[in-house]
């Protein structure tokens, strides 16, 4: 890497400063191939409204492997490079780290010199991941001040525990397993941190054997999927506390800590409750003003299931007479003000004002797809959509939201048995709350299924910060 | 006092200031801790451990030089110092590490250790050694085969460490308070010049000067 004279201009000391970043012109989207014997891809989209190619796919990088199941991905470097205890301000946000959640391969893509046409520059094969970490099924990647952190759902045999490992941010060599003392943690799904408090947070879905063949009704009804959040010392790499949500809550997925590094709260989405098929969002926070208290978690948003005719429901849900919201992703704007909640089952994106994180207020909603409703986009009223809002990405300025509709191949097939047709929708945000679908903001992917979206220069789920405030 | 001695003092202060102005050497950490707590006292509280850690790194380098100088001729010590400086300079130009020594909830002891290790790893202490060797020569006539006896050497070592730490701490404190109170960390994006190459070049230049002057 050629050294830069000034810091990468996409690095911002604080989230407030990052909100003043210029609007993105490119988006990168992970595309899953529903055929497990074929290749997944990463698509580059033109999202610049002033461009003649606005809304089009500019490029598609096919992965050389098959059956990868691309899911989440991340950057090699981001704003955390400005953290004062391990500063590397002259690194470049340049490489995309793209794990295959089923194949356990990790791809490194270079977005330089041409961000519109990334090139594959390295493949870390599954056996290397397994040999050096003991883990398999890598999932989420976050750029930390001292390296790239990646988590994995389980071990080589598809059992637990799942955990975290670290990649060198320059050589992309695997440095090894992260945990020194994992305490009672066994299941894994997402992770992120409060950099200002040296605290890691992890959540729970299930081991690879519990999820890869599809949602297992027996495990689900017995409450065997994850129902806890774990708090860790990020420096000492030790488990500190387990926050139990209770056995009725199943699948605790996306973690969205406050971006402001002085804060010690965040939100996590829970897919379903065994009691009534409702979904929920919970808030963790640290008690005590000096930041030395214990961590707590409480439910702050409850989203009920909607009554439905058995004929309209997928086989797995016919007996319930209701369509579950299935909150599968949430995302938090950089000012920590608006929380977006995807209801993949009912086909809705909800916006909440979380200025008071203890009592969110619903401020907006758009409906698209859904297991029963199949809501069409206003731009194409005659075309019912399947899948529902799933992964949510927010632009740094908080004015635009991008939605995609695929969850996970085997689960897509269970809940949308007619076969998900991939789409991405753009949502416009009204400054003080309220959302609406962008008129010309619907893009089809035909047979491919879009998953996570990352925006050029960073977005609300790509960066973390060591400084608060400022403008 | 000879003019050579005055020059050495100025060089020690200036090297300290050069180390202090680097955001990666401490002032930025002090600012971040101040912002995290939302008060200037946290910035000021960080200064002492930062200065102590930096001074310890310098003292350690000088101590090692003093010990080696007691048993080998000064000429050898100069060549050895020059060799290490040039090697470290070349190494730093190509080799980057991303250690995680401490985090944002660092205590005073941790901050001292962090400052010590950052200064040591970047060769800050080592840069002072040639000046120190020069000072002992100036004081003793310049033609001795070995360093002065431990007592006199320790005195010079203390002065050298103190002067360097003063230069470092003065600049660190000034920049930290200025950025915290007035400039804000937004300036990092426009003003954090890449000092790595200049730093590496300084190490190499110091090494060469050690044996040529």
B23, B105, B114 member nearest A197 (Cβ): B105
Q: How many domains does chain B have?
A: 1
Whether residue B194 and residue A5 make contact (CB cut-off 8 A), yes or no, is yes
B→A interface, C-beta within 8 Å: 23-24, 28-29, 31-32, 35-36, 38, 96, 98-106, 114, 184-186, 188-190, 192-194, 196-197
Helices (H), A19-114: none
Whether residue B98 and residue A86 make contact (CB cut-off 8 A), yes or no, is yes
Whether residue A3 and residue B197 make contact (CB cut-off 8 A), yes or no, is yes
Can you tell me the distance from the alpha carbon of A347 to that of A156, in angstroms, rounded to the nearest whole number? Answer: 35
Would you kindly state where each structural domain of chain A is located, as residue ranges?
15-455
- Is residue B143 very low, low, confident or very high in pLDDT (cuts 50, 70, 90)? very low
**A225 or B11, higher pLDDT:** A225
**Per-residue tokens: A228:** 């806890």
Model confidence at B127: pLDDT above 90? no
**pLDDT at residue B8 in the model:** 85
Model confidence at B212: pLDDT above 90? no
Chain A environment of B194 (Cβ under 8 Å): 3-6, 89-90
Model confidence at B141: pLDDT above 50? no
**pLDDT at residue B152 in the model:** 66
**pLDDT at residue A74 in the model:** 98
- Is residue B46 very low, low, confident or very high in pLDDT (cuts 50, 70, 90)? very high
- Is residue B2 very low, low, confident or very high in pLDDT (cuts 50, 70, 90)? low
| Nearest Cα residue in chain A from B183 | A470
**Domain range enclosing B117:** 3-212
**pLDDT at residue A170 in the model:** 92
Mean pLDDT of chain A: 96
Chain B environment of A90 (Cβ under 8 Å): 194, 196
**pLDDT at residue B130 in the model:** 84
By mean pLDDT, which of A67-76, A236-245, B66-75 is the weakest?
Answer: B66-75
A118-122 mean pLDDT? 98
- Is residue A290 very low, low, confident or very high in pLDDT (cuts 50, 70, 90)? low
What DSSP state is assigned to residue A100? B
Q: Say if residue B123 is preceded by a cis peptide, omega within 30 of 0.
A: no
- Is residue A471 very low, low, confident or very high in pLDDT (cuts 50, 70, 90)? low
Can you tell me the distance from the alpha carbon of A401 to that of A392, in angstroms, rounded to the nearest whole number? Answer: 7
B48-55 mean pLDDT? 96
**pLDDT at residue A153 in the model:** 98
A105-130 mean pLDDT? 98
Model confidence at B140: pLDDT above 50? no
A413-442 mean pLDDT? 95
Model confidence at B91: pLDDT above 90? no
**Per-residue tokens: B32:** 């971040």
Beta strand pairing call for A423-429 and A400-404: antiparallel
Comparing C-alpha atoms, which of B20, B105, B27, B92 is closest to residue A195? B105
Q: Percentage of residues in chain B with pLDDT exceeding 90?
A: 43
Can you tell me the distance from the alpha carbon of A407 to that of A348, in angstroms, rounded to the nearest whole number? Answer: 14
By mean pLDDT, which of A49-53, A378-382, B128-132, B145-149 is the weakest?
Answer: B145-149
Burial A430-463 (b: 16+ CB within 10 A, else e): eeebebebbeebbbebeebbbbbbbbbbbbbbbb
Q: Say if residue A113 is preceded by a cis peptide, omega within 30 of 0.
A: yes
| Burial class for A120, CB neighbours closer than 10 Å (0-12, 13-18, 19+) | middle
**pLDDT at residue B77 in the model:** 85
What DSSP state is assigned to residue A445? -
Contact A60, B166 (CB under 8 A): no
Residue B131: count other Cβ atoms within 10 Å of its Cβ. 23
Q: What is the ipTM of this complex?
A: 0.91
Residue A103 CB partners (closer than 8 Å, separation 6+): A65, A66, A67, A68, A69, A126
Four-residue CA torsion sign, A404, A218, A163, A231: positive
Helices (H), A182-257: 208-211, 217-221
- Is residue B75 very low, low, confident or very high in pLDDT (cuts 50, 70, 90)? confident
What radius of gyration, in Å, describes the C-alpha atoms of chain B? 18
**pLDDT at residue B128 in the model:** 86
Can you tell me the distance from the alpha carbon of A15 to that of A20, in angstroms, rounded to the nearest whole number? Answer: 9
- Is residue A327 very low, low, confident or very high in pLDDT (cuts 50, 70, 90)? very high
Distance, CA of A152 to chain centre: 14
A236-272 pLDDT, tens digit per residue, is 999 999 999 999 999 999 999 999 999 999 999 999 9
A82-103 pLDDT, tens digit per residue, is 999 999 999 999 999 999 999 9
A→B interface, C-beta within 8 Å: 3-7, 9, 11-14, 17, 82-90, 145-147, 168-170, 195-198, 234-235, 261-262, 291, 466-471
Distance, CA of A47 to chain centre: 20
Can you tell me the distance from the alpha carbon of B53 to that of B29, in angstroms, rounded to the nearest whole number? Answer: 13
Most confident option among A2-6, A409-413, B63-67? A409-413
- Is residue A158 very low, low, confident or very high in pLDDT (cuts 50, 70, 90)? very high
**pLDDT at residue B19 in the model:** 92
**pLDDT at residue A156 in the model:** 96
Chain A environment of B99 (Cβ under 8 Å): 86, 146
Can you tell me the distance from the alpha carbon of A453 to that of A72, in angstroms, rounded to the nearest whole number? Answer: 8
Can you tell me the distance from the alpha carbon of A208 to that of A389, in angstroms, rounded to the nearest whole number? Answer: 24
**A446 or A471, higher pLDDT:** A446
A191-202 pLDDT, tens digit per residue, is 999 999 999 999
Residues paired with A58 in a beta bridge: none
Chain A environment of B185 (Cβ under 8 Å): 13-14, 82, 467, 470
DSSP-derived secondary structure for chain B = --HHHHHHHHHHHHHHHHHHH-GGGTHHHHHHHHHHHTSHHHHHHHHHHHHHHHHHHHHHHHHHHHHHHHHS-HHHHHHHHHHHHHHHHHHHHH---------TT--HHHHHHHHHHHHHHTTHHHHHHHHHHHHHHHHTTS--SSPPPHHHHHHHHHHHHHHHHHHHHHHHHHHHHHIIIII-GGGHHHH----HHHHHHHHHHHHHHHHH-
Query: Which of A77, A87, A172 is the best mutation test for B, with the most CBs of B within 10 A?
Result: A87
**Per-residue tokens: A121:** 């520059």
- Is residue B151 very low, low, confident or very high in pLDDT (cuts 50, 70, 90)? low
Contact A141, A73 (CB under 8 A): yes
Architecture of the domain delimited by A15-455? 7 Propeller (2.130)
Can you tell me the distance from the alpha carbon of A139 to that of A190, in angstroms, rounded to the nearest whole number? Answer: 8
Contact A281, A360 (CB under 8 A): yes
**pLDDT at residue B134 in the model:** 79
Comparing C-alpha atoms, which of A152, A269, A142, A253 is closest to residue A195? A142
Contact A119, A107 (CB under 8 A): no
A394-416 mean pLDDT? 97
A293-322 pLDDT, tens digit per residue, is 899 999 999 999 999 999 999 999 999 999
What are the DSSP E strand ranges found in A15-105? 26-32, 41-46, 57-62, 74-75, 95-99
A364-389 mean pLDDT? 96
């Amino acid at each position: 890497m050629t050294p830069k004279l000034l810091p990468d201009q996409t690095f911002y000391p604080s989230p407030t400063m990052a909100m003043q970043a210029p609007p993105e012109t490119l988006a990168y989207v992970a595309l899953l191939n529903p055929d497990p014997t074929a290749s997944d891809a990463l698509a580059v989209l033109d999202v610049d409204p002033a461009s003649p190619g606005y809304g089009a796919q500019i490029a598609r990088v096919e992965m050389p492997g098959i059956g990868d199941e691309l899911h989440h991905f991340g950057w090699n470097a981001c704003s955390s490079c400005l953290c004062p205890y391990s500063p590397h301000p002259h690194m470049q946000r340049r490489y995309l780290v793209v794990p295959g959640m089923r194949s356990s391969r990790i791809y490194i893509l270079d977005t330089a010199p041409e961000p519109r046409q990334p090139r594959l520059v390295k493949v870390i094969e599954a056996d290397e991941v397994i040999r050096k970490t003991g883990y398999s099924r890598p999932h989420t990647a976050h750029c930390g001040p001292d390296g790239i952190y990646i988590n994995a759902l389980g071990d080589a045999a598809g059992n637990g525990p799942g955990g975290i490992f670290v990649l060198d941010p320059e050589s992309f060599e695997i440095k090894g397993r992260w945990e020194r003392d994992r305490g009672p943690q066994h299941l894994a799904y997402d992770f992120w941190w409060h950099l200002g408090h040296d605290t890691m947070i992890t959540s729970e879905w299930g081991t690879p054997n519990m999820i890869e063949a599809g949602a297992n009704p027996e495990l689900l009804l017995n409450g065997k999927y994850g129902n806890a959040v774990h708090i860790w010392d990020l420096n000492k790499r030790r488990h500190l506390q387990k926050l139990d949500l209770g056995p009725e809550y199943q699948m605790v997925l996306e973690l969205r800590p406050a971006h402001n590094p002085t804060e010690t709260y965040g939100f996590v989405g829970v897919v379903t409750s065994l009691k009534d098929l409702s979904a929920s969002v919970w808030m963790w926070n640290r008690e005590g003003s000096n930041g030395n208290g214990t961590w707590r978690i409480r439910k702050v948003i409850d989203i009920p299931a909607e009554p439905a005719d058995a004929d309209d429901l997928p086989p797995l849900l016919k007996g319930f007479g209701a369509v579950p919201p299935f909150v599968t992703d949430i995302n938090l704007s950089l000012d920590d003000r608006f929380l977006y909640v995807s209801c993949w089952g009912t086909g809705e994106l909800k916006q909440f004002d979380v200025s008071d994180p203890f009592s969110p207020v619903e401020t907006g909603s758009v409906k698209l797809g859904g297991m029963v409703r199949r809501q069409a986009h206003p731009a194409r009223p005659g075309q019912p959509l399947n899948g529902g809002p799933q992964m949510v990405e927010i632009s740094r300025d908080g004015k635009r939201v991008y939605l995609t509709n695929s969850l996970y191949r085997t689960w897509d097939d269970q809940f949308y048995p007619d076969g998900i047709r991939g789409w991405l929708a753009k949502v416009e945000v009204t400054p003080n709350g309220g959302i609406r679908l962008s008129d010309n903001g619907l893009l089809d992917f035909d047979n491919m299924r879009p998953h996570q979206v990352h925006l050029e220069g960073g977005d609300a789920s790509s960066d973390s910060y060591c400084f608060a405030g400022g403008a | 006092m000879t003019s050579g001695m005055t020059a050495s003092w100025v060089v020690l202060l200036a090297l300290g200031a050069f180390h202090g102005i680097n955001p990666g050497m401490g002032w930025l950490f002090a600012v971040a801790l101040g912002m995290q707590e939302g008060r200037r006292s946290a910035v000021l509280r960080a200064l002492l451990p930062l200065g102590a850690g930096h001074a310890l790194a310098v003292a350690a380098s000088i101590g090692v030089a003093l010990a080696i100088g007691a048993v080998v001729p000064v000429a050898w010590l100069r060549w050895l110092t020059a060799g290490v400086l040039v090697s470290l300079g070349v190494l730093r130009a190509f080799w980057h590490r991303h250690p995680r020594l401490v985090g944002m909830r660092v205590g005073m002891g941790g901050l001292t250790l962090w400052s010590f290790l950052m200064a040591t790893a970047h060769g800050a202490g080592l840069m002072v050694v040639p000046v120190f060797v020069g000072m002992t020569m100036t004081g003793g006539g310049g033609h001795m085969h070995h360093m002065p006896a431990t007592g006199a050497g320790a005195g010079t070592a203390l002065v050298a460490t103190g002067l360097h730490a003063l230069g470092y701490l003065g600049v660190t404190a000034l920049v930290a308070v200025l950025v915290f109170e007035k400039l804000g960390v937004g300036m990092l994006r426009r003003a954090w010049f890449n000092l790595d190459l200049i730093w590496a070049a300084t190490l190499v230049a110091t090494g060469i000067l050690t044996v040529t002057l």
